Structure formats: structure tokens, C-alpha cells
Structure 1
Amino acid sequence: MSRRTAIGWAAVGAGVSAAVLLGLAPMRNATETAEGKNPSADRPTATASSARDGEVRLERAEQQRTGLSVASVTTTSTPAITHGFARGLDGGALAAIDAEIVTARAAAGASRAEAARLVQLFSQDQSASAKSVEAARAQSAADSARVGLAERRIGLEYGPGLARLGTGARHALIADIAAGRAALVRIDVPGASLDTRSRMRIDGGVLAVLGPAAAADPRLQSAGLLAILRGPIAASATNGRILDVKVERGSAEAGVAVPRDAVLRWRGGLWVYRQDGPESFERVELIDARPIGGAWFVHSGLTAGNRVVTGGAETLLAIDRSGGSAAESDGD
């Protein structure tokens, strides 16, 4: 075979190979499309991206497509909040004192009646001596003293607020404690003084403050308040359990009101996406945020006039978590 003929056959072979490859490419794309794959899915789109954790860029056209909306936070103020704790008290001890009062009153009533009967018999010169009359009077006085001591035990061991409850109210309270409808708690706020006018609340319960506690806390050396806790959480406020208490102070605290629709719950915290530019957003954590009406009160991290995402924040979080494009975040 001559050299010219060999070159000719080589050219023909190269042409045939190129035709085969070009024919296979459409078939491969068709196969991927039929299987639900996107041949260009591996190439990130430029319309949405996350350069680093907490920052997202989204073009305006993509913002409109995803229904992104923003709103401004506004200046507001709310009573300052101090955190304290409530400790469940033993309701069984209160029930024992109440039973002691009932027993002492019954004994005192019986001894008074016996003393009165003997006095009458002695005045009629019947079968009653002066000695028996004096003994009956002494017994009546002793039983009356036991009643007074039993009644004072409530104030001495729990506080004057509980001691002021009437007999019927105390019996009803003990019955509610036994049924899990109420609990007796002591409230302390380290480093702060409390009074009965302080507004306090426990999540999942309603507090009714009775008055000062009988003694200072042995570890904190702080004066506390005695209160009755009612509500769903009362059944679990057993003796010694500690619950978080929020106490409103008289002073006002300045901050901003964040729309409730803007707040995301993630990683055990509350977050919003703040708009830093026409196409840039930054994730901001809300520290010590608390609900006020239809918004969240925040005293740091955001300032009045900041714009936060109220619609489509979940989309930004998905892009943020994927560290890539919106198309990549759909499968996260």
C-alpha cells in the first residue's frame, strides 16, 4: 500500500469515529433526560449563591420567582425582664399541718365542753369536785394552745401570705395540690428584690403571689416570695423542681419589634435574614428575644429601619445550608 493510500484510509477512519461520537452524545442526553437527570445540574447557577455561612446572594429575578418579601423592624420598648427561678415546695408538709390544726380544734372543743359540764355540776353541788373542775379547765387551755401553735406553724414555715388563707381556701388548695391542679412554689431572683406587685410569669402556668416567704434561701441568702402555681405545668412542679421565672421590672427597655413571620427556628435559636443590599442577605441570630403581641422584641443585633425577610426566608436558609445555588438546595 502506498503512503498516499494509507493517509486516505486514516482520514476516512477519523471521520467515521467523529460521526459515531456525535451520534452518541444526543443519545446520552436523551437517556439522562428520560431518567429525570439534568445534564447541567452539576453547574451552579449564578442567580443564587452562598459565599460563606450566613450570607446569601439572590438576584432580583430569582427573588420575584420565589416570592421573597421584606419588612422593616420598628423601634419599641417593653418592661425590662429579669430571670429568676421557682422551686416546688412540699405540699405534704402543709397537709400534715392542716390535719394537726383540725385535730387540735376537735380536742379543744371537746375539752371546753367537758370543762363547762363539770363547772355546772360543781355549781349544783353534784358529783364534781373543785379539783376536777380545775383539771378540766387546764386541759381546755392546753388544747386551745395547741390549736394556736398549729395555726401559727403555717406562717412560721411558709409565710404570712399562706397563713392569711381561710380554712376553706386552705383545704381547697391542698386538694388541688393532691390532684395536680396546683403547686406551692417559692420564687427567688438572685441579686434583685421582689415584692407582691412584681409581675411574674412561668411558661405553661399562672402565678398567684401570696406574700413573702418565711425564710431566706440558705444558699443565695435572698428573700423570696411564696406563690401558688396553676396550669398544665403545676402537676410537674414537684417538691424541689426548679422552674424558670420571668419577672418584669418597672424600668422600660428599648429595642426593636421584629415581625413574627420573619423569625426562623434553627439550631435551637431564633434567626432572621437581614437585607444588606438589593441582592444580599445575612442571617442574624436574635439573642434573648421574647414575644410581644404579634412580634418579637429584640434589644440587640438589629436596629430600627433594618429590613428583614418575611416571606421566603426558608428558601434563603436552604441556600445558606447548601452553600450553593437554589437548584442545589432543593434536594437538601
Structure 2
Amino acid sequence: MMRWVLLSLSVLLVSQCAQAQAVDADADAKAAFIKVDPAAQQASGIEVQKLAAVAFTPSRAAYGVVLDPGPLIALRSQIVAAQVSRQLAEQSLARAKLLYRSSHNIAMAALQGAEAQYATANANELALTAKARTDWGAALSTLLVSGGPFIQSLSDGKASLIEAAVTGRHLDPPTSASGRVSGGARITLRLIGVASHVPSGLVGQGFYYAGPADLSSGLPLSLMLPEGSAQAGVAVPPKAILYLQGHKSVFREVAPSRFTMVQISNVLPMRQPGDASRYFVGKGLHSGDQVVVEGAGVLLSAAHAAPAPADTD
């Protein structure tokens, strides 16, 4: 009650065009200002903060899980063995053909046996390659067939394989993503490619990412996947934002002890996994603006309670 009395005594609405332009040249000519003296601000718990410019890239939240690398490594070993068998069979067939064509130094049956061995080895390799593509998707199966640094790091325990699932509208997989493990530590992930499936019980898109070592298989992760390009704007604390009739607004201090309500748009949470401490605002505010971060509700009540300006017609 005391806060309301102090604030009510110090609230003045100013709605004339000349006064609006004197306070802020960019303000609407008919904007209403609320004047609150410093004593009333302190008594009402009103706090103001200067906004800083930020470059923000929108992100989508995703569910992640660390996969057991065992089946992948085992399949890689099978593929390597099949590749070696096919290469040996191919070399044996080439020798058999050469010998047969050189005055029939081997029998036709021996040549046919070499051809059969090569066909069997080749079919086995193709079957394993198809299995890799079906089980792990095109990108990861390519790494399984060709080998490479990631597969070697995974085998050596120096990397982890993470499956990410994102629901909702289509998302082109970003080349990098960020995550947070259950203990709170943040990690950076590198895209491998599109997954062949999504975790059980989820509907959407699946992606494979390479992660750091020492992540236990089955560990759940909270992930953020960047979407689109960076945008310029300001960072605003959640307490500063008012939700009115489907719109978002803040109180901006346009002169010492004078405040006006400003409608904002393109408002997005600037959260990392588990963190929603600020919002990105792309329109309506600028770097250096002073906005009310505590006590905005008090100003809103005062604005609603104040008498409307007299009709000048």
C-alpha cells in the first residue's frame, strides 16, 4: 500500500507531441510518459539497466544421447575384414586369369574357383556396406567404409558418438551444436550427418554428432542446434518484458525519472541448455537504451490507474 501511495503521488502522464519530442526525438508524438521521482523509484523497487548490443543466432532445442560405440566399431572391423578378403580374392582371380591365358597353365576349374571366391568376397563386402548404410545412415556409413580420424578416435576412446533428435519443422543440420551434460558442463559437437532413425518414442529428424571423450554410453544431453544466420539486437532480462494482449513490451527510461512503454518484436530466448536468463530483442530497442528490469509491473499498474489526457478537440 505504501508503495502505491508513493508512486501515485509522483506519477504524471505527459501526452503532448512537443513534450514527447523534447524527451526523445524518436518517440511517437502521442506517446504517454510516466514520471517517477527517484524516491518513489527506490520505494517501489524500480530498477533500470542499460542494454548491450548482441549478435544472436536462433537455435532449436534438441534431445541428445551418447551412443554405445561397440556395435559401430564391430561393424567397422567386419567391413575391414571383408575389404581385405575381397582384395585378396581379386588378386587371386587376376593371377588365375593370367595363368589360364598363358598356355592354360591352370585348369578351367581352378579359374572358376577363383572367380567364385571373388564373387563371394565381393558380395560379403557389399552386404556389409549396405548394412552400414541402413543402420547408420549415408554419412556415418561412408566413414565406416573408408575409415578416417573420427572412427579411429572412437575406437581409441578419444571421441564419442551422439545422436540428436529435433521435433517440429524441418531443420537443415548445423555443422556444429552445443550441449550440456546432466552435471552442467557444456560441450561442443561437430556434425557427422543425418541419422538413419531417431531415438525410440520420438518423431522428427535425427542427426549424428561427434562429441568429446569420456561421455558414458546412454548419457542424456540437452542440445541447442543453431538455425539460420546471426541477427543484431539487444539482450533483455526476462523480468523486463510485459505480455499485454498478445504483444510484448518494456518500459524504457527516455529521460531521468521518465518512462514510456515500448512495444518490442522478434523476441527469442537466448538460452543455452538449462539457461533462459536473457531474451534477444531484434526490434523496438537499441544498444544503450535504459529499460526497467525490476518493478515494471508497478509502472504498468500506475499507467492504468492514471487519468487519461484531456480531449483537446
What TM-score comes out, normalization by structure 1 length? 0.51
- CA offsets 1:154-187 (integer angstroms, 9 cap, x no match): 322111112333866x342233224443111111
Counterpart of 1:118 in structure 2 is 96
Distance in 1 of aligned mates of 2:227 and 2:101: 67
Compute the displacement of 1:147 (Å). 1.8
Query: Which residue pairs with 2:159 in the alignment?
Result: 182
Residue 136 (structure 2) aligns with: 158
Match of 2:57 among 58, 79, 104: 79
Q: Distance in 1 between matches of 2:144 and 2:65?
A: 24
Report if the CA contact (8 A) 1:108-1:140 is conserved.
yes
Shift of 1:208: 1.6
- Is 2:173 the partner of 1:196? yes
Equivalent residue letter for 1:104: A
- For residue 227 of structure 1, what is the aligned residue in structure 2? 209
Amino acid at match of 1:297: R
Q: 1:298 aligns with which of 266, 274, 279?
A: 279
What are the ranges of 5 or more consecutive residues in structure 1 without an aligned counterpart? 1-58, 64-68, 260-274, 279-286, 310-332
AA of the residue aligned to 2:210: I
CA distance in 1, matches of 2:151, 2:55: 41
SS for the counterpart of 2:221 is strand
**CA positional deviation for 1:140:** 0.7
Write out per-residue CA displacement over residues 292-315 of structure 1, whole angstroms, 9 at most, x where no aligned residue.
xxxx63369xx9633569xxxxxx
Match of 1:208 among 190, 193, 216: 190
Find the aligned partners of 1:77 and 1:120 in 2 and give their Cα distance. Answer: 67
Kindly indicate whether residue 82 of structure 2 is the aligned counterpart of residue 94 of structure 1.
no
CA distance in 2, matches of 1:126, 1:79: 71
Alignment correspondent of 1:172: 149
Match in the other structure for 2:124 = 146
- The 1:112/1:164 distance shift into structure 2, 3 A limit, reads closer
Distance 1:252-1:131 versus aligned 2 partners, 3 A rule? closer
Of Structure 1 and Structure 2, the greater helix share is in 1
Measure, in 2, the Cα distance between the counterparts of 1:217 and 1:235.
Answer: 21
CA contact (8 A) 1:256 1:297 kept: no
DSSP 3-state at the match of 1:164: helix
Residues 230-254 of structure 1 show CA distances to partners (whole Å, capped at 9, x for unaligned) of 3xxx411x33221111123338899
Q: What is the Cα deviation at residue 126 of structure 1?
A: 5.5
Query: What stretches of structure 1 move > 6 A for 4+ residues in a row?
Result: 251-255
- Distance change (3 Å), C-alpha of 1:305 and 1:179: same
Please say which structure displays the higher CA radius of gyration.
Answer: 1
- How has the CA–CA distance of structure 1 residues 218 and 182 changed in structure 2, closer, same or farther, with 3 Å as cutoff? same
Corresponding pairs, count: 209
How much is the aligned-residue C-alpha RMSD, in angstroms?
3.9
Q: Cα–Cα, structure 1 residues 104 and 153, in superposed 2: closer, same or farther, change >3 Å?
A: same
Q: Which residue of 2 aligns with 1:323?
A: none
Q: Structure 1 residues 251, 206: CA separation in 2 closer, same or farther (over 3 Å shift)?
A: closer
Identity %: 23
Q: Secondary structure at the match of 2:56?
A: strand
Residue 103 (1) aligns with residue 88 (2)? no
Q: Are the structure 2 counterparts of residues 114 and 299 from structure 1 closer, same or farther at C-alpha, using a change threshold of 3 Å?
A: closer
Give 3-state SS (helix, strand or coil) of 1:240's partner: coil
Change (3 A) 1:205 1:124: same
Check conservation: 1:155, 1:163, Cα contact below 8 A: yes
